[in-house]
Amino acid sequence: MEEKQVILSVEHLMISFSQYVGGWRQRELPVIRDLNIKVREHEVVAVAGSSGSGKSLLAHAVMGLLPQNAACQGILLLFDAGKPCGFWVRTAQVISAHLCFAL
């Protein structure tokens, strides 16, 4: 049986939020730590978890729609016919819509 192509790869995804405490002091609140996922063509993938576990944040990160106070690290690769068609690599503060598409 032929192995199906990977169409989405998320590697070492970490998401945290800056939160103000006690006036002007900030702290980082980690919400997703070291998440890895690969989705192959024709697969149906379900992300399950309790309320507040980061399911929606994962979807927002994949779409590049995280809020301004989110910090995101990791690698996201999108593939079309086995060739990368979009990617991002983030190791610093994310500002919304940082998904880069290569044509």
What is the tens place of the pLDDT at every residue in 59-87? 998 888 888 888 888 888 887 766 666 65
Helix (H) or strand (E) holding 58: helix 55-63
The Cα-based distances of 7 to 43, 47, 71, 84, 93 in angstroms read 10, 16, 25, 9, 26
Its pTM surpasses 0.75: no
Q: What is the average pLDDT score of the chain?
A: 79
Amino acid at 19: Q
The number of angstroms, rounded, from the C-alpha of 61 to the middle of its chain's C-alpha atoms is 4
CB neighbours (10 Å) of residue 20?
10
How far is it, in rounded angstroms, from Cα 12 to Cα 53?
16
Per-residue confidence at 32, pLDDT binned at 50, 70, 90? very high
How far is it, in rounded angstroms, from Cα 10 to Cα 8?
7
How far is it, in rounded angstroms, from Cα 77 to Cα 89?
9
